[in-house]
Amino acid sequence: MPLTQEELRAVEQIHRLFRTVGQIIIGKEEVTKLTLTAMLAGGHVLFEDIPGVGKTLLVKTIAKCLGADFSRIQFTPDLVPSDIVGFSMPRSGQDNFVFRKGPIFSSIVLADEINRTSPRTQAAMLEAMAEQQVTSDGITYQLPQPFFVLATQNPIEYEGTYPLPEAQLDRFLMQLSLGYPNQKQEVEMLAAPNQMMALQDLEPILPLESFLQLKASVPRIHIEESLLQYVVDLGNLTRSSAHIRLGISPRGNQFCVIAAKAYALLDGRSYVIPDDIKAVLPAVYRHRILFYDSYSSQQTDEAIQALLKRVSPPIRR
């Protein structure tokens, strides 16, 4: 079933969003597309990079273009759960308490340098990401919908970082990296107007309501059974490799399928093709595969590309 005219209009607005983001974050169109893909699929995104390559600016720009409620949490070693979740305080002149919501109560939360805080605070973030809720003083509070965590982290070899628990890593649908710009892109960056001023002048391009309507269309994107088998075959390779300690879980395969559907939708199609799976799979696998030996990010990406070459995608008839 082809996309409706309303869906096609929303896709065109997202393409306009890509172009706008590209004027501020130069040369990172595919990272922007994958970020929006993850959000359309209902997932969170983890950006791992050295400081200064534009992670925070990218998240702020996307939030501004969507006109979404936005908050930024700067993670530090002394951050405690109540700094994120909120806390109860006595009402003036009364015996009962009122709950003061923390910055986690936003549609888009920028968790900046998320791996610089303690495991106790990470546990509060895990509940928010996994259950869409938080708990304070034994009372559970639902988070706003939609709720996306777009987190940044420095490479774990940096001083003052804590490795994220595997359970929390698995809650991120994708792990992305902006990387250094090439020489041409860096010259364009230096010649461009002040990026923060450009961000302040941005107006919403795609209303959040339209984005949510498009998000609701993702599950109906068609994927053939042969492509589902292709995803399973790739996942099984990670589980049988002598070099991989922890392969892709069934949930990882589910994330791969829903991300491929969202990627197809952003290309204006109502069906998935093998290239959609190839485009999203590295970002879905990157933080889920654990090797017996210590692998750098580049080695992990090379290993994933090698896996893709070992399985032939089905031929679409």
Architecture of domain 221-317: Orthogonal Bundle (1.10)
- The ranges assigned to domains in the chain are 1-217, 221-317
Rounded to whole angstroms, the Cα distance separating 307 from 142 reads: 40
Instruction: Label the pairing between strands 290-291 and 244-246.
Output: antiparallel
DSSP assignment letter at 114: G
Interior/surface letters 90-116, b for 16+ CB within 10 angstroms, e for the rest: eeeeeeeeeeeebbbbbbbbbbbbbbb
Alpha-carbon distance of 146 to 259, in angstroms, equals 17
Q: What pLDDT does residue 91 have?
A: 73
Mean pLDDT (10-residue bins), the chain, 317 residues: 89 90 85 95 91 82 91 92 89 77 94 86 89 90 93 71 78 90 81 72 86 93 96 95 89 96 96 96 93 80 91 82
CA dihedral 225, 226, 228, 231 (to 10 degrees): 180
8, 64, 210, 232 from 206: Cα distances, Å: 13, 10, 7, 35
CA distance 257 to 247: 17
pLDDT number for residue 53: 74
Label the pairing between strands 139-142 and 133-136: antiparallel
Confidence (pLDDT) at 147 = 94
Rounded to 10 degrees, what is the CA torsion of 64, 70, 75, 78?
150
Fold (CATH) for 1-217: Rossmann fold (3.40.50)
Whether the CB-CB separation of 178 and 137 falls below 8 Å is answered with no
Q: What is the CA radius of gyration of the chain?
A: 20
CB atoms within 10 A of CB 167: 12
Q: Look up the pTM and report it.
A: 0.90
Q: Give how far Cα 3 sits from Cα of 18, 217, 313, 316, Å.
A: 20, 9, 25, 20
